[in-house]
């Protein structure tokens, strides 16, 4: 018991001996590690999203809402409907 208490006092003494610049260095290292971790996580998310392409859930959901009803073009995304201005531009005058 006395030996464990002595070890604890020694650990606290070592912590109190650290200078302010040492604490600043530790804080800077921790902040850098956190920033790098957040950045790498975001890069990983972006990489996996770019690799999925049109197979992600949002695209397949949009495809099922606007796709053909007979299901013949299930793998092909639905073509957007022509706008009125597009139809007027195609008609000869």
From first to last of its 93 residues, what are the pLDDT tens digits of the chain?
677 777 888 888 777 777 888 889 999 999 999 999 999 999 999 999 998 876 555 555 555 555 555 555 555 555 555 555 655 666 665
pTM of the model: 0.41
Would you kindly state where each structural domain of the chain is located, as residue ranges?
19-46
| Selection from 42, 39, 44, 64 nearest residue 54 by Cα | 64
pLDDT at 48 (0 to 100): 93
pLDDT at 80 (0 to 100): 59
Q: Which residues contact 77 (CB under 8 A, 6 or more apart)?
A: 54, 59, 62, 63, 67
- Beta carbons of 78 and 64 less than 8 angstroms apart: no
pLDDT at 18 (0 to 100): 79
pLDDT at 15 (0 to 100): 76
């Amino acid at each position: 018991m006395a030996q464990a208490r002595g070890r604890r006092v020694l650990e606290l003494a070592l912590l109190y001996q650290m200078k302010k610049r040492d604490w600043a260095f530790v804080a800077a290292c921790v902040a850098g590690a956190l920033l790098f971790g957040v950045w790498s996580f975001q890069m990983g998310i972006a990489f996996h999203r770019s690799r999925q392409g049109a197979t992600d859930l949002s695209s397949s959901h949009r495809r099922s809402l606007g796709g053909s009803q007979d299901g013949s073009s299930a793998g092909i995304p639905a073509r957007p409907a022509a706008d009125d201005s597009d139809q007027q531009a195609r008609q000869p005058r």
